[in-house]
A = this chain, B = another copy of it.
Amino acid sequence: MSSMRVPIIEKILDANDQVAAMNQQLLTSKKVYSINLMASPGAGKTSLILETIRVLREFSSKDACFLSLLRIGVIEGDTAPVTIDADKVLAVGMPAVQINTGGNCHLDAIMVRQGMEKLPLDQLDLVIVENVGNLVCPAAFKLGTHANVLIASIPEGDDKPYKYPNIYRNLDVLIVNKIDLLPYIPFDMDYFRQGVEILNPGLLTFPVSAKTGEGIHAWVSWLTQRVRDLKKNDR
Protein backbone atom coordinates (compact mmCIF):
# COMPACT_ATOMS: atom_id res chain seq x y z
CA MET A 1 0.00 0.00 0.00
CA SER A 2 2.98 2.33 0.54
CA SER A 3 3.30 2.87 -3.19
CA MET A 4 -0.13 4.55 -3.10
CA ARG A 5 1.47 7.48 -1.33
CA VAL A 6 3.92 8.28 -4.13
CA PRO A 7 2.98 11.76 -5.44
CA ILE A 8 1.46 11.77 -8.91
CA ILE A 9 4.12 14.10 -10.32
CA GLU A 10 6.82 11.52 -9.62
CA LYS A 11 4.85 8.82 -11.40
CA ILE A 12 4.53 11.03 -14.48
CA LEU A 13 8.24 11.80 -14.49
CA ASP A 14 9.04 8.12 -14.02
CA ALA A 15 6.85 7.21 -16.98
CA ASN A 16 8.55 9.88 -19.08
CA ASP A 17 12.04 8.67 -18.10
CA GLN A 18 11.10 5.09 -18.89
CA VAL A 19 9.90 6.01 -22.38
CA ALA A 20 13.01 8.20 -22.80
CA ALA A 21 15.21 5.19 -22.02
CA MET A 22 13.24 3.12 -24.56
CA ASN A 23 13.66 5.87 -27.15
CA GLN A 24 17.42 5.90 -26.70
CA GLN A 25 17.60 2.11 -26.82
CA LEU A 26 15.70 2.07 -30.14
CA LEU A 27 17.79 4.86 -31.66
CA THR A 28 21.07 3.27 -30.54
CA SER A 29 20.05 -0.18 -31.81
CA LYS A 30 19.33 1.37 -35.22
CA LYS A 31 22.62 3.35 -35.08
CA VAL A 32 20.74 6.61 -35.34
CA TYR A 33 22.42 9.43 -33.37
CA SER A 34 20.00 12.00 -31.98
CA ILE A 35 20.04 15.44 -30.40
CA ASN A 36 17.50 17.43 -28.40
CA LEU A 37 17.82 21.00 -29.72
CA MET A 38 16.56 23.59 -27.25
CA ALA A 39 16.47 27.42 -27.25
CA SER A 40 14.36 30.51 -26.65
CA PRO A 41 11.82 31.43 -29.32
CA GLY A 42 13.68 32.85 -32.30
CA ALA A 43 17.20 31.90 -31.21
CA GLY A 44 17.67 30.10 -34.53
CA LYS A 45 16.86 26.40 -34.04
CA THR A 46 15.37 25.87 -37.49
CA SER A 47 17.98 28.10 -39.13
CA LEU A 48 20.74 26.01 -37.53
CA ILE A 49 19.13 22.78 -38.75
CA LEU A 50 18.89 24.14 -42.31
CA GLU A 51 22.48 25.43 -42.19
CA THR A 52 23.66 22.07 -40.82
CA ILE A 53 22.00 20.29 -43.76
CA ARG A 54 23.58 22.77 -46.20
CA VAL A 55 27.09 22.27 -44.82
CA LEU A 56 26.68 18.49 -44.76
CA ARG A 57 25.89 18.66 -48.49
CA GLU A 58 28.95 20.84 -49.01
CA PHE A 59 31.06 18.24 -47.18
CA SER A 60 29.51 15.46 -49.28
CA SER A 61 30.42 17.18 -52.54
CA LYS A 62 34.08 16.71 -51.49
CA ASP A 63 33.61 13.12 -50.32
CA ALA A 64 31.60 10.72 -52.48
CA CYS A 65 30.81 8.46 -49.51
CA PHE A 66 29.46 11.26 -47.36
CA LEU A 67 25.95 11.88 -48.67
CA SER A 68 24.85 8.35 -47.93
CA LEU A 69 26.39 8.58 -44.50
CA LEU A 70 24.32 11.41 -43.11
CA ARG A 71 20.60 11.30 -43.64
CA ILE A 72 18.70 13.49 -41.19
CA GLY A 73 15.17 13.22 -39.87
CA VAL A 74 13.68 16.13 -37.95
CA ILE A 75 10.97 16.12 -35.27
CA GLU A 76 9.53 19.62 -34.90
CA GLY A 77 7.81 20.54 -31.65
CA ASP A 78 5.32 23.41 -31.80
CA THR A 79 2.72 24.68 -29.38
CA ALA A 80 0.29 25.38 -32.20
CA PRO A 81 -0.86 23.47 -35.30
CA VAL A 82 1.52 25.30 -37.66
CA THR A 83 3.99 23.55 -39.95
CA ILE A 84 6.24 26.54 -40.75
CA ASP A 85 9.42 24.83 -39.46
CA ALA A 86 8.62 21.32 -40.69
CA ASP A 87 7.84 22.74 -44.15
CA LYS A 88 11.27 24.39 -44.30
CA VAL A 89 12.99 21.06 -43.57
CA LEU A 90 10.84 19.19 -46.09
CA ALA A 91 11.66 21.88 -48.65
CA VAL A 92 15.37 20.97 -48.47
CA GLY A 93 14.55 17.30 -48.95
CA MET A 94 14.77 15.79 -45.46
CA PRO A 95 11.94 13.91 -43.72
CA ALA A 96 10.23 15.96 -41.00
CA VAL A 97 7.43 15.29 -38.56
CA GLN A 98 5.56 18.07 -36.80
CA ILE A 99 4.28 17.54 -33.25
CA ASN A 100 1.67 19.94 -31.87
CA THR A 101 1.99 19.99 -28.08
CA GLY A 102 -1.48 21.54 -27.79
CA GLY A 103 -0.20 24.60 -25.94
CA ASN A 104 2.25 22.65 -23.76
CA CYS A 105 5.60 24.34 -23.19
CA HIS A 106 7.88 21.37 -23.97
CA LEU A 107 8.14 18.05 -25.77
CA ASP A 108 8.15 14.87 -23.70
CA ALA A 109 9.49 11.37 -24.39
CA ILE A 110 6.08 10.04 -25.47
CA MET A 111 5.61 12.78 -28.07
CA VAL A 112 9.12 12.08 -29.40
CA ARG A 113 8.29 8.36 -29.52
CA GLN A 114 5.25 9.16 -31.65
CA GLY A 115 7.40 11.36 -33.89
CA MET A 116 10.05 8.64 -34.25
CA GLU A 117 7.39 6.16 -35.35
CA LYS A 118 6.55 8.42 -38.29
CA LEU A 119 10.17 8.77 -39.42
CA PRO A 120 11.96 6.18 -41.62
CA LEU A 121 14.50 5.39 -38.88
CA ASP A 122 16.06 2.50 -40.84
CA GLN A 123 17.11 4.98 -43.51
CA LEU A 124 18.44 7.66 -41.14
CA ASP A 125 21.79 8.42 -39.48
CA LEU A 126 20.71 11.36 -37.36
CA VAL A 127 17.48 12.57 -35.76
CA ILE A 128 17.28 16.19 -34.66
CA VAL A 129 14.46 16.95 -32.24
CA GLU A 130 13.60 20.65 -32.28
CA ASN A 131 12.01 21.33 -28.92
CA VAL A 132 9.45 24.08 -28.18
CA GLY A 133 11.05 27.54 -27.97
CA ASN A 134 11.44 27.84 -24.20
CA LEU A 135 14.29 28.10 -21.64
CA VAL A 136 12.32 26.71 -18.69
CA CYS A 137 10.12 23.67 -19.35
CA PRO A 138 12.29 21.56 -21.72
CA ALA A 139 15.03 21.31 -19.04
CA ALA A 140 12.80 19.05 -16.91
CA PHE A 141 11.95 16.39 -19.49
CA LYS A 142 14.32 13.77 -20.88
CA LEU A 143 13.49 12.77 -24.45
CA GLY A 144 15.90 9.86 -24.87
CA THR A 145 18.19 11.63 -27.32
CA HIS A 146 21.97 11.11 -27.13
CA ALA A 147 22.85 14.76 -26.50
CA ASN A 148 21.21 17.90 -25.17
CA VAL A 149 22.12 20.93 -27.25
CA LEU A 150 21.16 24.51 -26.39
CA ILE A 151 21.31 27.48 -28.72
CA ALA A 152 21.95 30.76 -26.91
CA SER A 153 21.50 33.82 -29.06
CA ILE A 154 23.58 37.01 -28.84
CA PRO A 155 20.56 39.40 -28.93
CA GLU A 156 19.06 37.62 -25.88
CA GLY A 157 21.83 39.15 -23.77
CA ASP A 158 24.74 37.87 -21.72
CA ASP A 159 22.83 37.19 -18.47
CA LYS A 160 20.77 34.18 -19.56
CA PRO A 161 22.89 31.47 -17.83
CA TYR A 162 22.35 33.31 -14.53
CA LYS A 163 18.58 33.64 -15.07
CA TYR A 164 17.79 30.23 -16.60
CA PRO A 165 20.36 27.99 -14.86
CA ASN A 166 18.48 24.68 -15.01
CA ILE A 167 18.65 24.37 -18.78
CA TYR A 168 22.44 24.96 -18.76
CA ARG A 169 23.12 22.25 -16.18
CA ASN A 170 22.24 19.23 -18.31
CA LEU A 171 23.78 20.30 -21.61
CA ASP A 172 26.30 18.38 -23.69
CA VAL A 173 26.84 21.18 -26.21
CA LEU A 174 26.19 24.92 -26.26
CA ILE A 175 25.85 26.80 -29.53
CA VAL A 176 26.12 30.60 -29.35
CA ASN A 177 24.26 31.84 -32.43
CA LYS A 178 23.97 35.22 -34.20
CA ILE A 179 27.60 36.20 -33.52
CA ASP A 180 27.28 38.36 -36.67
CA LEU A 181 25.25 40.76 -34.48
CA LEU A 182 28.02 41.24 -31.88
CA PRO A 183 29.07 44.64 -33.33
CA TYR A 184 25.54 46.01 -32.83
CA ILE A 185 24.67 44.62 -29.38
CA PRO A 186 26.21 45.07 -25.94
CA PHE A 187 27.19 41.49 -24.99
CA ASP A 188 29.96 40.72 -22.49
CA MET A 189 31.25 37.32 -23.64
CA ASP A 190 33.42 36.87 -20.53
CA TYR A 191 30.44 37.45 -18.22
CA PHE A 192 28.35 35.01 -20.29
CA ARG A 193 31.07 32.32 -20.26
CA GLN A 194 31.61 32.70 -16.50
CA GLY A 195 27.89 32.08 -15.95
CA VAL A 196 28.03 28.94 -18.10
CA GLU A 197 31.24 27.69 -16.45
CA ILE A 198 29.70 27.81 -12.95
CA LEU A 199 26.75 25.67 -14.09
CA ASN A 200 28.49 23.32 -16.51
CA PRO A 201 32.30 23.38 -16.27
CA GLY A 202 34.15 22.80 -19.54
CA LEU A 203 30.96 22.72 -21.63
CA LEU A 204 31.73 22.26 -25.33
CA THR A 205 30.75 25.53 -27.02
CA PHE A 206 30.46 26.51 -30.69
CA PRO A 207 30.09 30.23 -31.52
CA VAL A 208 28.27 30.39 -34.88
CA SER A 209 26.20 32.49 -37.22
CA ALA A 210 23.51 30.49 -38.98
CA LYS A 211 23.07 33.58 -41.19
CA THR A 212 26.67 33.99 -42.43
CA GLY A 213 27.74 30.37 -41.91
CA GLU A 214 30.60 31.35 -39.58
CA GLY A 215 31.53 28.56 -37.16
CA ILE A 216 29.07 26.06 -38.64
CA HIS A 217 31.83 23.77 -40.02
CA ALA A 218 33.22 23.12 -36.52
CA TRP A 219 29.76 22.24 -35.21
CA VAL A 220 28.96 19.96 -38.17
CA SER A 221 32.34 18.23 -37.86
CA TRP A 222 31.63 17.46 -34.21
CA LEU A 223 28.16 16.17 -35.10
CA THR A 224 29.34 13.89 -37.91
CA GLN A 225 32.02 12.48 -35.60
CA ARG A 226 29.34 11.55 -33.04
CA VAL A 227 27.27 9.89 -35.78
CA ARG A 228 30.32 7.89 -36.92
CA ASP A 229 31.24 6.94 -33.33
CA LEU A 230 27.77 5.51 -32.78
CA LYS A 231 28.02 3.45 -35.98
CA LYS A 232 31.44 2.07 -34.98
CA ASN A 233 30.26 1.14 -31.50
CA ASP A 234 28.97 -2.44 -31.70
CA ARG A 235 27.20 -2.73 -28.36
Query: A155 — nearest CB in chain B belongs to which residue?
Result: B155
Asked if A99 lies at the interface with its beta carbon under 8 angstroms from chain B, I say: no
| Interface-facing stretch out of A29-37, A74-82, A120-128, A223-231 | A74-82
B80→A166 contact, CB < 8 A: yes
A85 to B163, CA, bound (A): 9
Instruction: Name A132-158 residues within 8 Å CB distance of B.
Output: 132-137, 140, 153, 155-157
Which residue of the partner chain B has the closest CB to A81?
B165
Query: Is A201 engaged at the interface, CB distance under 8 Å to the other chain?
Result: no
CA A58 to CA B134, docked complex, whole Å = 36
Determine if A160 is an interface residue (Cβ-Cβ < 8 Å). Answer: yes
Contacts known (A42-B40, A155-B181, A184-B181); A162 close to B82, Cβ less than 8 A: yes
Beta-carbon contacts under 8 Å, A183-205 to B: 184-186
Pair A136/B103 contact, Cβ less than 8 Å: yes
- Say whether B140 contacts A103, CB under 8 Å: yes
Interface residues of A in 67-118 (CB under 8 A from B): 78-80, 82, 84-85, 103-105
Contact indicator A84/B162 (Cβ below 8 Å): yes
Considering only CB atoms, which chain B residue lies closest to A181 in the complex? B184
Q: Are A79 and B160 in contact (CB under 8 A)?
A: no
- Chain A: residues with CB nearer than 8 A to chain B? 40-43, 78-80, 82, 84-85, 103-105, 132-137, 140, 153, 155-157, 159-160, 162-166, 178, 180-181, 184-186, 211
Q: What are 10 A-B contacts with C-beta separation under 8 Å?
A: A40-B42, A42-B156, A42-B157, A79-B166, A103-B136, A105-B105, A105-B134, A153-B155, A155-B178, A184-B184
